Amino acid sequence: MIPLSYYMILSAIVFVTGVVGVLIRRNIIMLLLSIELMLNATNINFVAFSYYLGNIAGQVFVFFALTVAAAEVAVGLAIIIALYRGKATVNVAELNLMKW
């Protein structure tokens, strides 16, 4: 049996990849994908904990987290489309009308 800590390390690596992606990437689509990575790292955690604790609540949480992630992608894509129509860019460095 694979120890729980392996799953936790995997999910931590995926999560940190997502966080670093959000911090260093400049293309807003890549930011969206990095955020998805963070959410999926969470899902790995939930499923692993749920299996090892014998508690189904974690898997239920994954269902809802997946749905929320989908809704987030839809809203994010809508905002990116509107942004591209208005400013013809998907580069966050060019979002500089107001200082960050």
Rule CB under 8 A: which residues touch another protein?
A: 1-2, 8, 11, 15, 18-19, 22, 28, 31-32, 35, 38-39, 41-42, 45-46, 48-49, 53, 55, 57-58, 60-61, 63-68, 70-87, 92, 95, 97-100
Minimum distance from residue 23 beta carbon to another protein (Å): 9
Question: Which residue's CB is nearer to another protein, number 24 or number 64?
Answer: 64
Structure tokens that stand for 53 in this block = 């604790």
Minimum distance from residue 55 beta carbon to another protein (Å): 6
Minimum distance from residue 58 beta carbon to another protein (Å): 6
Question: H helices within 1-56, ranges in order?
Answer: 4-24, 28-53
Rounded (10°) CA dihedral 46, 39, 61, 45: 0
Asked if 44 and 10 touch (Cβ cutoff 8 Å), the reply is yes
Question: Which residue's CB is nearer to another protein, number 24 or number 67?
Answer: 67
The closest alpha carbon to 49, from 60, 59, 40, belongs to 59
Minimum distance from residue 69 beta carbon to another protein (Å): 9
CA angle, 16 then 22 then 27, to 5°? 140
